[in-house]
Structures are given as structure tokens and as C-alpha cells.
Chains A and B, each alone.
Chain A
Amino acid sequence: MKAWLVLFACLLPLAAQRPAQSPAPVPATTPDGFTVARPGYRFSFPKDHGSHPDFRTEWWYFTGHLWSADGKRRFGYQLTFFRQASPSAAWTGSAAWRTDQIHLAHGALTDETGRRFRVAERLNRGGLPADAALDRLAVFNEAWSAELGPEGAIILRMKVDDARLELTLQPATPPVVFGEDGVSRKGADPTASSHYITFPRLASTGTLKFGSAPPIPVSGQSWMDHGFSSNQLSAGQVGWDWAAVQLRDGRSLMAYRMRLQDGGQDPFSSITEVDPKGRITRSTRTFAMRAKGQWTSPASRTAYPQPLEVEAWGERWTLVPILADQELRTARSTGITYWEGACRVLDSNGKEVGDAYLELTGYAHSLKGRF
């Protein structure tokens, strides 16, 4: 999902100039030469955890819920790496300083007890400042990194303001591939699709260090998305609401709702349920996301729907942020203002039944034409 930030940020002007494709066979490449995510893609791991530079856009997205050892302090975190390629060019710089690959990253830490939300961002070029391995998960942007270790665990490192987070994520399931036949469709245009891999349950342990204070041991549950795509856009979309829900009963839900200019929900929106073993049990486009309240950011004056209610398959969950202000204003990288944060999940009886990460975009401004 995060890739859309980049796509909207960097490519909407280009895409908007192109007429919509007719529902013809899916072309192998985009007009500017990038590989199109097409059905029938055969995933191979660990290689497919690595970078796919023949696709225009790629993202590695980590979120999680962490608690101190005594359970008294609760944190949420987000660490996202984006890669964005330019159309082919005669001069692509040197291997150390590429001019055809841009890497961005957003990091955020929510401290519920300390009532503080920390955000940082990175913008760099491919090569020495930032890069992603081709054959395995090893991505970095400056000193932030995510790397799949030899034991099968993912090591995350990031520092946001004075907070340094180091985590080891142990996948509880094999990677889940969303969509049909290896492809997740995002719009009417058959090339508007991505390859989308998720680890919905990652047992997380590590340390969180604030300034020169002693490190706090933390543990909890993380979620990882990895996607690569060359076009995911549809005309008329202004933003989306997206949620990664980890229920206490072992089920995981991934929901996204594309919001249209007229206020409606794009038919390609969907919600998918994954069982504790990492198998997709059901997926539907018939679901609802409703605002149960509103929070207005004092910084951007943007009103966000909070809490948000999700209804599908006859069940209802309410996502309640652990901290109202989890708004990211990313002037140094994508230039987009959005809300992304840790939430408690309540069932229809108001009972806490899980945790979620929620992303709300397109409320501060339409993403169209940004950057």
C-alpha cells in the first residue's frame, strides 16, 4: 500500500497524461519500459524479498506493537523503505551515485505512555547512500536498515529523533502472497497491479533506547508488507484507508478502501482474512469502513475519521488510536501529509480483541499532482 505514496508523489503527473488502457491482455511492460505485475508470477524466496529494479516502484513496510518487559509501556512503530525508479535514461550516474533510483524512508515511533509521536524521514539516491540487495531482504537508507539474517529472522534498525529501535522479527508463518495468481489488482486498468507479499505475524523482540537512558527491552508483534509494481493508479482516486489488523484469536486482516473523488469506494477495494498458519481464508470487496468520530490535527488542520469502524462478513471491529496525533508531515521526502498509527481493536461489544495499524491518506490534500 505504501508504494502508492511514492507513486502518487512522483508519477501521477506522468500517468495522468496517459489515456486509460482498454481491458485488453495485460502488456509485459509499461510504455516506458518497466515490467508490469502480471498473473502467473512465480515467487521464489529469499530472492523475491530482495529488490526488483525492473519494476518502477517497490516498498518494504514494517509496523508493530511493542510493550516493555513489565507491560506498563506501550509503543507502536512504523519503518517504511521505498524505492522509485526513473524511466530509462542515457545517463544513470555511477554505481555509487545512481541517478535512476531514488530511495525514501519514513520512520515513526508512538509512545503511548509518554504521549509522544516521533517522526523522521530519509530521501536518498540508490548506490552508497541507500540501496536494496537483489537476492535477499537487505535494504537500507542511511543508517536505517532491514535485513534478513541467516536464521530467518529480520533485523530492523532505526533511530527517530532521540529514540533508537533495534528489533529482531521472527516470522510465525511463511510469506503470504495477496491477490489472485500472484497479482494484487488496484484498479480497472489491468496494469494497475502489484506483486504483494506479507508477513502478517512477526514475533518481535529488541530494545528501545531514548537518548542516553538505559535501553528498554521490548517485545510484541510486527507486520511486514513488501510490494513491487509499475503502475497502480486509477483516475479519480483521492486517497485510501488501509488497515493491518492482528486479532487475538490468531486471525489477521488486511483491508484497503480506495476513496473516489465523489466520496464513494472504488470497487477494487477489498478485505482479506489470513489464518494463524498464514493461509488466506477469505477475501471480499463487500465491506465497509465508517468514521465513528473525528480528530483534527492542530498542525495541518486536517480532519481524520477516528475511530474507524470496519465491517465485513457480519463482524464489526472498531480501530481506536492509542494516541490521537500520529500524523506524518513529510516535507523532506514525499511531501505528503497523512495519518498512520497504532490502534486498539475493539469488537462490537467494546472488548479489546487485537491491535492494528491504520493508514489514512488523501485527507490533508488530494494526492493528485503532489510533489
Chain B
Amino acid sequence: MTWLVLRIVLRAMLRERGRVLLALLSVALGVSVFLSIRLANRAAVASFAGFAAGIGQGSDLVVRAEAGPLRETALPALRGLRDEAWIRPVIEGTFSRRGVGGGAPEGFQLLGTDLVGLAGSAPATAEPPDAGSGSMASSGEGDGGAAGNFYRSLQDPAAVLVSTALARAEGLRIGSALSGFVNGRPVTLAVAGIAQDAPNRPPLQRNLLVMDLPAAQMVLGRPGELDRVELGLRGEASLPALELAAAAALPPGWVLEAPETRASSARTMTAAFRFNLTILSLIALAVGAYLLFQAFDAAVNRRRETWATLRSLGCPPRLLNALVLLEAALLGVAGSAAGVLLGWGMAQGAVRAVSKTVDTLYGASAARSAQLWPSEAALAFGLGTLTCLAAAWLPARTAAATVPVQLLARGSGTRPARWQALSAAGLLLALAGAGLAFLPVLPAGVAWHAYAGSGLVLLGGSLATLALLPLLGLPGGRRAPWAVRLALRPLRRPTGRHGFAAAALAVAVGMTIGMGVMVKSFEATVMTWIGTNLRADLYVAPLGSEGMAAQHRLSAALAESLAADPAVLAADRFQVVPLRLRGAPTFLGAADFNIHGRHGHVAIIEGGDPNVLLPHLHDLGLADPSAIASETFTRRFGVRLGDALEIPTPSGLRRLTVRGVYADYGNERGSLIVDRPVFLDWFHDDRVASLALYLRPGLDPNREGKRLFAAHPGLQFRSNASLRQQVTTIFHQTFALTYALEVIGLGVALAGLVQALLGLALARRGDIWTLRTLGAKEGEIAAVLLGEGLGVALAGTLGGLAMGVLLAQILVRVLNPQVFGWTLRFALPGPFMGLVLALTLLAAVLALLPAARWAARLRADREAEEGA
């Protein structure tokens, strides 16, 4: 047995280094892409939860206000819970720094909590509290007694606790200054402590700044306010009992949520995004599986004399089967191991892309590096090895089940595929997939049918592609020149090898076209939307603000002074607060309807002309409070035009009527917008998240922006054009990873194409030798082989194109509305699709050319070495 293994498996692997390397590369690439995406996702999502966990114990329950902030004066209502739970009040905000050398501003999460209470509720240790409770008092390195330090840190309203990572990166020490802006105001914080990493808690995020609660409230300009109160079980207390007691004790307008909700709502938010990525990464593995199958098929085929000899010598078929599977296992293990390492490395790059996207979409990720999760590594490793074994399964059975006489028959290695049956089945599968995706009417948020349908379309479409091969072989008829005939004739009776190469390429091209068309449709829709919505000359926001989730606010006085600037004709103040409606998070915005109606524009889908509707809603005022709802909001909450809603506000429940529906691609949680006077009356919050300035005619927005910036260095002034540019940039950043994955998928498919061509050439060694004997030049032979390969590439590309358009339909018309609530306009980008086709074929030529030239030089005597 050992002899057999060495001889049949290992020696063959050593001799066919090229094939083995290609197979290893396929496995490693597939595994690494899959793993890197999973790791990057985990890192990005973990960073949500990591923020709070980094400064103390994880909490068991979280208390929030249904709308607006929590008022700390109501906190004594929770005092009765304190035997069962520790309580951690939290306020959050953002501290921003101007980027180095005019680069993008750097944002820090500024978290304020009761540091004394935090020290008091730290887990008991054998050491006195100065051994690492995580408070500022505990981490001081300065001189003097600890008690003195304790008070010095606590009594400095600028004192801030920074992460070890930030301190290391910037050489910060106790007493170092950290200058930046909070809500557009210049602020200088003083480093009072550096959080020491401890084994029992995750390290503090690099861009998290922790302050004592009253100091944070002062810096953020929010005295008396909290964003949430975290509760943690003490000792033997039980969570259900605490939940009951907390629910009974909560003041009106306060709601209880599991601590997971924050992380899990982030998880839900990003679920679709992450699912897309996982599916994409699986595609790489799926394309890889096609290739592996092909590789094993070729390897088994090439050694058919060996199998025949072994069978003749009385070797049981079971052993032959085992030998092929052993080779697959070896390749699988080695390839997967390499893939895990490669994937871990790739994850470091991917995490930045994922973080950037999560940041852009949800404003709350801080992951900068991805850790190697053993469970994920094991999953990827297992998946890679299993894929390899699965791909070798059929070839192994073929090797074991075929009788020696058949194996020895010349030319039996290239059996024609049953393309008619396969492509017909494929077509049916693809149609079934499309039916599954389009036909059922399911509630919003449910999209399994779209995913399953897409999967069927991919599988079926790739099989249906086989039918293209005989079609493309048609020009190789009797009247064609001999070289064309020789190149295309094999396509008329395609073998499994032709079929696999074409199908794999079709999957990769199909995914690229499908995602590409979806992204382009998205882009076209968003750009049109921005074009109609962005009408103001200058957009003003505190430094570092991006997206709905940003926590920066301008004071009413600052907004007023900007509005009163002589250059400004009108100013639209926009404010937004998070809101919990029927237990689900959403947003309530406030805009100056009168100004917006007269100067601006909003893409109203239902409710009439915005320039009439908005001033009308303004006139209705508090007598009949009205709102416009985003399309996403109406889908999420099942709201229709004319519906009345009860909105929780700090002043109690307030009733409003939805009188317009507008398109909004900015957030998937949906939002309601009310007129500013209504908001002020309900929320007593006159701050402003952003300001749209309409300048007097004839003024240059860029020049005015620069002038205003000189007076307010903590604010960002963006002209209409630069804001559009920024939106476009963010848009492309969001899909950067998608593009990268597509390129990898195409790369793997092209590698498969090369492998297929080499296999085909080896199978046609006899033909090649004959041609050369007949006087054909090497170049002519190479052209024949290249033609055959290109025929396969063209079949795959065309099949992929058709499949991609069908896939895009599912993505645009089913998946996006179901998952995000976004109606996109289907746009078929001709130039983009042409580019993908051209690039794929060009890449195919470049990849096939050297292979064809190598194959053209194949010598007939190599045949004699086979099976030696």
C-alpha cells in the first residue's frame, strides 16, 4: 500500500507539478477569499460591541429613551434595581481632528460614563482597586499620591482616557494635549490616563476616547442628558428577574432593550451587506470547485493506463477510488492551509474596506485589523478540503468503475458531454430560479427566495452555457480553412472539459455582470436623486459629520449666525434624532419646510409637487402636524399616504399624518421628516445637524465657503459640486470590495480556462504530432489551440452575460426592495458590459497564448512516458 501510494499518488503529484500547483492555487484562493471576507466582517461587526465592552464589563440590559436623550433627573427611578445590577450611564459624541496635511478628518468616538461608579462596579480582584479597574484613577502614571491623582483626573473637565493603541501610535503621555473639534467648536483634551490592556476585557478601540460623565456632558454641550443607561447583573441575580424589575421601574418614555440589540441591530443593518459578501466569496470557492473537478478529471484520465494495469493486477476498485481521494485530500489540506494563511493576510486589507463601508453606511465601526478566529479558520479549512474531496469524487468513481479494456482504448479520455440534456436541464433550472425569485410576494426583509433563485440561476445558467459551444463550433464547417475547422470542430462535440471551463467562466462573468449592473442601476438612481435633491449652494456640518448616524450638532446660535451672514439668502436647518417606533429604530428629521419648499427640492414619490406640498405642510403647522416619510420607512412600518402615526417625543406621544413619501437612499432604517417648528415644540432641541445655505445670486459658493470656513475652522463647508463628488466617492468606496471580489472570481475562472486548454491540448497530442508531421508550423498549431480555447472563453462569456442580466434583474427588482426597501431604476450599462466582455476575452487571450504555444511544442514521445 505504501509503495502504491508513493508511486501512484506522490510521484505523480511531483511529476505534474504544474497541475498540482494550479489545483493548490484554486483551493487556496477560494479558501482565502471566503475566509478573508468572513474575518473582515467579524472584525467590523465586533467593533460595534467592542466600544462599550472595552471600558468595563459587558452589560446585560440597556435603557434608552424612545425619542431624544434620557434625562438624568429621572435616573433615581432605577435606584431600587441597584442591589441586583450595577448601572452605567453613558453619553456619546464625536471628537474630530482635521486630517494631516488637509486629508480626511479623523473622527473619535467620545464616550462619557461615571468613572467612579465604573471603578466601584469592577469585578472584585485580590488587588486593591489601583491594580487595573479601568478608571482614570487607576491608570495614572504621574507623580504624587494616588488619591491626589484620582481627584486631579476627576476634577479636570478636559481629562480624557485614551487607548493604549492611540497612545503608542502618537506617543501620548499623561498630560499630553489632544486638540480637535466637538460640534464644530475647538476643544483641547488632556490625556489623564491610558487604558491598560487587561486579560479579562477587550482592549480599548484606538479611536475611542473616554471621559468622566459630567465632563463629557459639558464638552458635548449636553448637560443633564444621557444616551443610554447600561445595567449589569450583580453576583447571583437573575436576568429575567432584573428585566421584570427594570420594566416596572422605568420612567415613562424609557425603554428596555437587550444589550445585544445595539450590536445586533448593527448586525441586522449590515446583515444584507455581509450576506452579499459571503455569497460573493462563496462564488470564488464554487468557481474553484469547477476547476478542481476538471483538474481531477484530467489527472485521472491521464493515468488511465496506470489504473488499467492496477486493475489487471487484481487491485480492487475500492483501492483505486481511495487513491484518487487521497490525492484530493492531500491537495485539499495543503491548499486549505495555504488558503487560511493567505486569507488572514487578505483580511487585513479587506477589513479596511468593510469598515469603511460599515462606517459610511452606519457611522459606527472602528475595526482596523482582523483577528484570526479559530472557528472561521476551521470552517474555511473544512470547506476547502471538502470541496476538494467532492470535486474528486466523480473522477475517482470513474477511475474505479471503468473496466481495464475501456481504459486502455485510445482516445477514450475525451468523452463527448451530453450537452443537449445538460443545457436543457440548466435552462429549466435557471427559469425555475427566476420564477422563485420573482413570483412569491413575501414580507419586507425576507429575501431567501431571491438568494435561492439567484443560486439556481447561476447553476442552471452555467449548465445552459454548454449549448453555446456547438453553436460557436458551427463556423468550423467543411468549407472553413483547415485551421478554423481544426480549432472549432471539437466545440461541435464538446467534452466535459470544454463544458466545465465554459461553465466556470460563465459563473464568474455572470456574477460580475449581475453585481455590476446592480451597482450601476444603484448609481444611476442615486445620482439622479442627488441631482434633484441637492439644490443649495453650500452645505455646512460640523467637522467629521457623515451620514445620519453622526452625532455632531451645531448650536442654534452658531446656525443662526451663519444664516444671518450677508451672503446668505436663505438657510435650511436640518436636525435628526434617532427614534424607536414600535420597538424598531428609525429616524425623525426636521427641516424648514417653507425654505425647502421654496428654494430646495425633494424627490417626492407620492404626495404631489414638493414646492406646493412642503409650504402647505408648513402652513398646517402644529394644528395638524404632518410629515413626509421616506420610501424605506413606509415599507418597514407598513405606512401609507394619509396614515396617522403616534410618535414618542420627550413631551409624550404626539400624533402626525404622513402626507408625502420621498425617495431616500441614504439609510435603510427609514426616516420621517417634520417641519422645524413642530420638531422644536415636541423635542425642545434647537441644535442643528446640518445647514443648507442658499446664497444671494451671483456669489461664488467656493469663495463664500472659504470665507466662512476661515471664521469657523471646526465646520465643513461643501459646495454643491464637492458634495456630489463626495457622495460619488462614498458610493464607490461602498462597492470597492465587491469589485475586488469580482476580479478574483474572474481570475480563478481564467486560471481554469488555461487549465482546460492544457488538458485539451494534452488530449490532442496525437493530432498535434500528426499536424507537425504533415508540415504545420508551430504558430499554426498554436493558433488552432488558441482558437479552441477562445471558443470556450466566448461561450462562457456570452453565457455569463445572459445569466448576469437575469441575475441583475433579481438583485435590482427583488433583492434591493426586499432587503433595503430601495426601489432602483434598472439601468443596463452598455459600455460597462462591453468592457467586461472585452476585458474577459483579452485576459483569456493573454492567458491562453502562452499555454497554446507551450502545447504546440508538445512532443509525441511524451505520450510514451505516460503511465511509466
Give the B-binding residues of A (Cβ under 8 A).
9-11, 13-14, 86-87, 89-94, 96-100, 102, 121-125, 128-129, 140, 142-144, 159, 161-162, 164, 211, 331-333, 335, 370-371
Is the Cβ of B214 less than 8 Å from the Cβ of A94?
A: yes
Please report the C-alpha to C-alpha distance between residue A97 and residue B217 in the assembled complex, in whole angstroms: 10
A363 to chain B, nearest CB (A): 16
Contacting residues, chain B, for A100 (C-beta < 8 A): 151, 155
Q: In the complex, A200 Cα to B76 Cα: how many Å?
A: 32
Q: Whole-angstrom distance between the alpha carbons of A143 and B154 in the complex?
A: 24
With beta carbons under 8 angstroms apart, the residue of B83, B114, B129, B147 that contacts A143 is: B83
B235 touches A161 (CB 8 A): yes
List of A residues within 8 angstroms of B122 by Cβ: 332
Q: Judge whether B147 and A371 touch: CB under 8 Å.
A: yes
Task: Say yes or no: A335 contacts B155, CB within 8 Å.
Answer: no
- Report if B767 contacts A (CB, 8 A): no
Chain B residues positioned under 8 Å from A124 (CB to CB): 114, 116-117, 120
- Residue with the greatest number of chain B CB neighbours at <10 A, chosen from A87, A94, A370: A94
Tell whether, in the assembled complex, residue B147 and residue A10 are in contact, meaning their CB atoms are under 8 Å apart: yes
Q: Is A331 in contact with B147, judged by CB distance below 8 angstroms?
A: no
Q: How far is the CB of B4 from chain A (nearest CB, A)?
A: 66
Q: Which residues on the A side are within 8 Å of B146 (C-beta)?
A: 13, 371
Across the two chains, which residue of chain B brings its CB closest to A161? B235
- For residue B236, CB closer than 8 A to chain A, the reply is yes
| A132 CB to nearest B CB, Å | 14
Identify the closest chain B residue to A13 (Cβ): B145
Closest-CB distance, A130 to chain B (whole angstroms): 9
B375 interface residue per 8 A CB criterion: no
In the complex, A133 Cα to B128 Cα: how many Å? 30
> Chain B: interface residue count, which band?
35 or more
* Nearest CB on A from B858, distance (A): 79
A370 touches B155 (CB 8 A): no
B114, B130, B154, B213 — which one has the most chain A CB atoms within 10 A of its CB? Answer: B154
CA distance A98 to B124 in the complex (A): 24
The 0/1 profile, CB within 8 Å of A marked 1, for residues 134-150 of chain B is: 00000000001111100
Contact residue among B116, B129, B217 (Cβ-Cβ distance under 8 Å from A102): B116
- Give the chain B neighbours of A91 by CB distance below 8 A: 155-157, 215
What would be 13 A-B contacts, judged by CB atoms less than 8 Å apart? A86-B151, A89-B155, A91-B157, A93-B155, A94-B214, A99-B212, A123-B116, A124-B117, A129-B114, A129-B116, A161-B236, A370-B128, A371-B129
B620 within 8 A of A: no
4 nearest A-B residue pairs (beta carbon):
A13-B145, A123-B120, A335-B128, A142-B82
Bound-state Cα–Cα, A299 to B155, Å: 36
Least distance between B8 CB and chain A CB atoms (Å): 67
Out of A14, A98, A142, A335, name the residue touching B129 (CB < 8 Å). A335
Which residues of B lie under 8 Å from residue A161 when comparing CB positions? 235-236
* Interface residues of chain B: helix, strand, loop or mixed (majority): helix
Q: Which residues of B contact A125 (CB under 8 A)?
A: 114, 116-117
A94–B89 CA distance with the chains assembled, in angstroms: 14
B75 contacts the other chain (Cβ, under 8 Å)?
A: yes
Q: Which of A10, A122, A335 contacts B120 (CB 8 A)?
A: A122
Q: Which residues on the A side are within 8 Å of B120 (C-beta)?
A: 121-124, 332-333
Known: A87-B151, A123-B119, A123-B120. A96 touches B128 (CB 8 A): no
In the assembled complex, the CB of A197 is this many whole angstroms from the nearest CB of chain B, namely: 27
Q: Which of A129, A140, A161, A335 has the most CB of B within 10 A?
A: A129
Residues of B within 8 A of A143 (CB): 79-83
| Nearest-Cβ distance from residue B350 to partner chain A, whole angstroms | 42
Bound state CA distance, A211 and B84, in angstroms? 11
Chain A CB within 8 A of B72 CB: yes
Contact of B126 among A11, A159, A331 (CB under 8 A): A331
CA distance A34 to B397 in the complex (A): 92
* A211→B238 CA distance, assembly (Å): 11
B148 touches A13 (CB 8 A): yes
**A371 in contact with B223 (CB, 8 Å):** no
Complex Cα–Cα for A159 and B212 (A): 28
Which of B119, B127, B147, B213 is A14 in contact with, Cβ under 8 Å?
B147
Tell me how far the C-beta of B238 lies from the nearest C-beta in chain A, rounded to whole angstroms: 10
Complex Cα spacing A162 to B235, Å:
8
Any A CB within 8 A of the CB of B224: yes
- B452 CB, nearest partner CB in chain A, Å: 49
Q: A161-B235, A332-B129, A371-B130 are in contact. Are A129 and B117 (CB under 8 A)?
A: yes
In the complex, the chain B residue whose C-beta lies closest to that of A131 is: B76
Residues of A contacting B212 in the complex (Cβ-Cβ under 8 angstroms): 93, 97, 99
Q: Is the C-beta of B73 less than 8 angstroms from some C-beta in chain A?
A: yes
A58 to chain B, nearest CB (A): 17
Determine if B125 is an interface residue (Cβ-Cβ < 8 Å). Answer: yes
Taken together as a complex, chains A and B put the C-alpha atoms of A10 and B80 apart, in Å, by 29
Report Cα–Cα, A182/B631, bound state, in Å.
Answer: 75
B76, B155, B215 interface centre (most CB from chain A within 10 Å) = B155
Question: A13 contacts B154, CB within 8 Å?
Answer: no
Q: How far is the CB of A5 from chain B (nearest CB, A)?
A: 13
- The docked-state distance in angstroms from the alpha carbon of A144 to that of B234 is 14
- Nearest chain B CB to A96's CB is how many angstroms away? 5
Residues of A within 8 A of B156 (CB): 91
A96 engages B116 (CB within 8 Å): no
Complexed CA–CA distance, A299 and B126 (Å): 10
Q: Are A164 and B76 in contact (CB under 8 A)?
A: no
Q: Are the C-beta atoms of A331 and B214 separated by less than 8 Å?
A: no
Taken together as a complex, chains A and B put the C-alpha atoms of A162 and B224 apart, in Å, by 34
Interface residues of B in 715-758 (CB under 8 A from A): none
**Which residues on the B side are within 8 Å of A97 (C-beta)?**
114, 212-214, 217
Residue from B124, B125, B155 within 8 A of A92 (CB atoms): B155
> What CA separation (Å) do A335 and B129 show in the bound complex?
6
Q: Contacts of A164 on B, CB cut-off 8 Å? A: 83
Is B147 within 8 A of A99, CB to CB? no
* Cβ–Cβ < 8 Å partners of B129 in chain A: 123, 331-333, 335, 371
Q: How far does the alpha carbon of A86 sit from the alpha carbon of B150 in the complex, in Å?
A: 10
In the complex the two chains form, is B147's CB within 8 Å of A128's CB? no
A79 to B215, CA, bound (A): 32
CA distance A122 to B120 in the complex (A): 6
Q: In the complex, what residues of B have CB within 8 A of residue A162's CB?
A: 235-236
Per a CB cutoff under 8 Å, which of A9, A86, A211, A332 touches B155? A86
**What's the nearest-Cβ distance from chain A to residue B791, in Å?**
76
Provide the residues of chain B in CB contact with A102, threshold 8 Å: 116
Which residues of chain A have C-beta atoms less than 8 A from B130's C-beta?
Answer: 335, 371
CA distance A281 to B147 in the complex (A): 40
Query: Given the complex, which residues of B lie within 8 Å of A142, measured CB to CB?
Result: 79, 82-83, 87
Tell me the smallest distance from the CB of B123 to a CB of chain A, in Å.
9
> Contact: A94 with B217, CB < 8 Å?
yes
